[in-house]
Structure 1
Amino acid sequence: MSLRPKPRLLCIGGDDHQLRIPFLLGLRDAGFDAVAAGSGNPAPFAEMGIPYHRYDFRRSLSPRHDLRAIGALVRIIRDVRPDLVQTFDTKPNLLVALAKRRAGGFRLVRTINGMGWIFSANSLSAWMLRPVYRSLQRVADPQTDLTVFQNSEDQEYFVQHRMARRETARIIGGSGVDVARFDAARRQAENPEAIRAALGLRSARVVITVTRMTRLKGIATLLAAADLVHKVRQDVHFLLVGPLEEAGRFAIPAEEIAGHADYVTWLGPRDDIPALLGAADLFVLPTEFREGLPRVLLEASLAGLPIITTNMPGCMAVVRSHFNGLLIPPRDPGFLAAQILTLLDDPELARTMGRQGAEMVRREFDLAGTTQAYIRLYRDVIQDAPVTEHEAALADAGPDSAVSRQDWTGEALPPGSQPIRPRQARIRGHRPRRTKPPFGPRCPKPTAWGAASCRSPDRAFLDRRDRPRRAAIFERHPPRPPVQRYSPARRIEVRSEYPTPQDARLRGRMRDMRSHRGLRMLAVRFGIA
């Protein structure tokens, strides 16, 4: 429960966090106090009047840099004091969950937008890192109030491997696309013929790809397919749009793209994506990546282009085979080339797929609908939050009291006035640091020797605090006529007064104890030897 006039939401992402600006503006219009944090350029957020906090992190596994990022996130969270934190991308999801252990006092919602290269690559390192990824997600799950998935395949994988609880899992189809903004950008752009002329492609059939230039996105497969298509039709030209990944195991060297310069043009990163999509005839994304729900597929469908993509999770949520595009297996350049030629040779089929795809995106993936789904989810999470003693005092005092003015409006308190409780207690949901159990780790379930005991049975018997409990066990079994028993292993004679099967099990436990001293103490204590 938030007592501010507007619930404060902190949205944390990575270096491409500026793509969430339309989403944050929708939240602000709905009555949320939206604040952003990421590792990218703060200028786009400043232009829209959204407060932005920058922190640095590495996408790769680096414990030293990860600890620094966690510390930076703790400082940001304590400075913003949000009611709710929304995280996007794999690394921020994990880092913020770990930072919550130190910052605390807020509700956390994470969005799983894809499972990354670890579950896409077939390399040895990827196979070795998968158990690490699953372990980290299991650590993050208890700190998370809700987990949002963008496709059902990822949800089932997380639930099956105990990385998320089914009762806290939700599916929201992607981050949505701002249909009105996209249409306005296309209207303001040059006409498609002028763009083709500027690129020297006036009479060519254009196949476009918008993504990072990396092997995991299928660029090597696309170049091989382009070579096959060019041998059949010389009027087809391929446009590659996006940043080049030149370092790392999945890098695509610029020389490799330059080797196909006769029919492939790499444009690099561009800001006029709607205009370029309007000048193309076909969109291709042969990704090998486990995507969340690729935004570029939504924009390509909105531009009226038929799509060819792989049957990977996330892509199948947007492209329905033979409805608005075609699905192909990954890493198959021959099949990709055949499907490209199929759509280029049948313009009527391509136009039908493009029209149906645009109608589907406007109906199912509009940003307004996606934002409303998140808003309903956020309000449910905030309403379920517990009310602390300090918040109850604020509610009784009202927003005009001197004590509560800082918590209601963020203004400084008047001179001489003090908060009701220290700052740690003002953080909603704050609890004192837990101490370790009195002896050893917590028991996963009560033992036969006492619900609070975490020791083995023989040590529990020797514990003075357990003697009344042990005596109660023997009091439930009245003495019977003694039966002589001899234990060769212990070389002592034990008189058993419990010949029944239940009592024999109790006697067997005593006989199997490893400590000879403990057995002697029991025999003397209970008079059975």
Structure 2
Amino acid sequence: MDKKRILLIASFAGSLIRFRGDFIKSLIANDFEVFTAAPEYTESDTKIIKAMGAIPIEFNLQRTGLNPLNDLKSIKELKSIMKDNKIDLVFPYTVKPVIYGSMAANSCKIPVISLITGLGYAFTGLSAKARTLQRFNEILYKLSIRKNKIIVFQNKDDYQLFLDRKVISKQQRVDFVSGSGVNLNQFTFKEKNASDKVSFLLVARLIQEKGIALYMEAAKLLKAKYPKAEFNLIGAPETSPSAISEDELNEMHKEGIIVFHGKQNNIEEHLHQNDIFVLPSYYREGLPRTTLEACACGNPIITTDSVGCREAVKEGENGFLIEPQNLEALVKPMEYFITHPDKIKDMGINSRKYAEERFDVNIINNDLVQLIKSVLKI
């Protein structure tokens, strides 16, 4: 019998490797033929995906903004990819791939399992532009995913929002996974040892919505009071409207308030070198991969009690949840760890246990593979 052909659609080729690499390997191990569609593959992306055993295909996608003509071209390209490669099931993730991939697949009568990885800027509702985008995206989601076989969510909040906004109905089949999962063999556990030099780490896109400015303000206050404490920040400078100024980052680095590392690829090493992971995001997250990696490495977590973020923390056991956009609420748990370094070790052990129980990539990928088999009836 011929192998069933699965098409993964992403908005960024690099995410297929970083976030879906283990999933691709799992599909291939389960005897599926895997195709990956994304815009702007680098030579390295293509080489790595081929080495996994998948077939990379490039298509044009405008990742941000709305241009109906370009978007229609993307749908047309995806339809051609699906027909030319005789795809049996489409698996898109992130906003535009879900919307346009679902539209293309539905018109070709190909079954779709769509993964909602977070609703992002458009659903924060913090500006008139975001509210307009939200209304527009709601319409597009309604038009595109209503015929999908399964809609997979990373948190219950996004599911409830889709129900409340009548994007989907209660009759539609849904499922849930704990983010993209984390490879526990790659992100290994390292026990923390108490010392008087407590170090914090934030890894994220350098935009306001991730709470970067709040973290830097907290660092400024705490550094003055506890000079030995260290506040690390990893992320590539952004060009988006809410980007944090690179000049500001470099200035605070020069002043010794933060240690700004820029973009880094060895995240596991940095997690091992630092004590506590901080993500004060008020972005509408799915389930941030960075918090899962921090849990796996044995870092206590400080993050917001908001959509997606709260999933990574058992309050008081492996970290603390704080009110979004509240400086005092962020400073309090950070100061707690500085003044109680002996608590870091036990909370870190609890983080690893939680990762093993809930975020193991093998568990999550197995669940997704079983969903695919149920739809294809194999």
- Structure 1 residue aligned with 2:173, among 162, 168, 171? 168
Q: Secondary structure of the equivalent of 2:185?
A: helix
Residue correspondence of structure 1 range 346-385 to structure 2 within 5 A: 346-383=340-377
2-structure distance, mates of 1:192, 1:78: 53
Residue correspondence of structure 1 range 10-409 to structure 2 within 5 A: 10-15=7-12, 16-19=15-18, 20-39=20-39, 40-41=41-42, 42-58=46-62, 59-102=64-107, 104-166=108-170, 167-183=172-188, 204-245=197-238, 247-261=239-253, 262-383=256-377
CA contact (8 A) 1:100 1:143 kept: no
Residues 108-167 of structure 1, C-alpha deviations (whole Å, 9 max, x = no match)? 010111111112251111122221111111101233111000111111111222212333
2-structure distance, mates of 1:252, 1:118: 19
1:313 shift after superposition:
1.1
1:99 shift after superposition:
1.6
1-structure distance, mates of 2:354, 2:106: 42
Change (3 A) 1:237 1:121: farther
1:364 shift after superposition:
1.5
Residues 385-437 of structure 1, C-alpha deviations (whole Å, 9 max, x = no match)? xxxxxxxxxxxxxxxxxxxxxxxxxxxxxxxxxxxxxxxxxxxxxxxxxxxxx
Amino acid at match of 1:308: I
1:48 shift after superposition:
2.2
Residues 358-379 of structure 1, C-alpha deviations (whole Å, 9 max, x = no match)? 0111122111111111111111
CA contact (8 A) 1:344 1:350 kept: no
Structure 1 vs Structure 2 CA RMSD: 2.1
Q: Pick 1 or 2: higher relative contact order, CA cutoff 8 A, min separation 6.
A: 2
Correspondence for 2:5: 8
1:248 shift after superposition:
2.9
Amino acid at match of 2:164: Q
Who wins on radius of gyration, i.e. which is larger?
A: 1
1:334 shift after superposition:
2.3
1-structure distance, mates of 2:38, 2:197: 41
1:101 shift after superposition:
4.5
1:314 shift after superposition:
0.9
Amino acid at match of 1:90: V
2-structure distance, mates of 1:239, 1:117: 25
1-structure distance, mates of 2:168, 2:47: 35
CA contact (8 A) 2:28 2:53 kept: no
Residues 14-43 of structure 1, C-alpha deviations (whole Å, 9 max, x = no match)? 212222111110111122212211224323
Q: Secondary structure of the equivalent of 2:7?
A: strand
1-structure distance, mates of 2:148, 2:134: 21
TM-score (norm 2): 0.92
1-structure distance, mates of 2:226, 2:70: 50
Q: Secondary structure of the equivalent of 1:179?
A: coil
1-structure distance, mates of 2:73, 2:306: 34
* Runs of 4+ residues over 2 Å off in structure 1: 39-44, 46-49, 202-205
Q: Secondary structure of the equivalent of 2:316?
A: coil
1:316 shift after superposition:
1.1
CA contact (8 A) 1:109 1:148 kept: yes
> Percent identity among equivalent residues?
27
Residue correspondence of structure 1 range 405-416 to structure 2 within 5 A: none
Unaligned runs of 5+ in 1: 194-201, 385-529
Q: Secondary structure of the equivalent of 1:321?
A: coil
Worse overlay, 344-353 or 82-91: 344-353
1:44 shift after superposition:
2.3
2-structure distance, mates of 1:238, 1:47: 38
The count of aligned residue pairs is 366
TM-score (norm 1): 0.66
Q: Secondary structure of the equivalent of 2:167?
A: coil
2-structure distance, mates of 1:108, 1:101: 8
1:105 shift after superposition:
3.3
Amino acid at match of 2:249: I
Q: Secondary structure of the equivalent of 2:252?
A: coil
1:181 shift after superposition:
2.6
Residues 428-456 of structure 1, C-alpha deviations (whole Å, 9 max, x = no match)? xxxxxxxxxxxxxxxxxxxxxxxxxxxxx
Amino acid at match of 2:152: V
CA contact (8 A) 2:122 2:130 kept: yes
Residue correspondence of structure 1 range 459-498 to structure 2 within 5 A: none
2-structure distance, mates of 1:142, 1:338: 44
1:204 shift after superposition:
4.2
1-structure distance, mates of 2:196, 2:58: 46
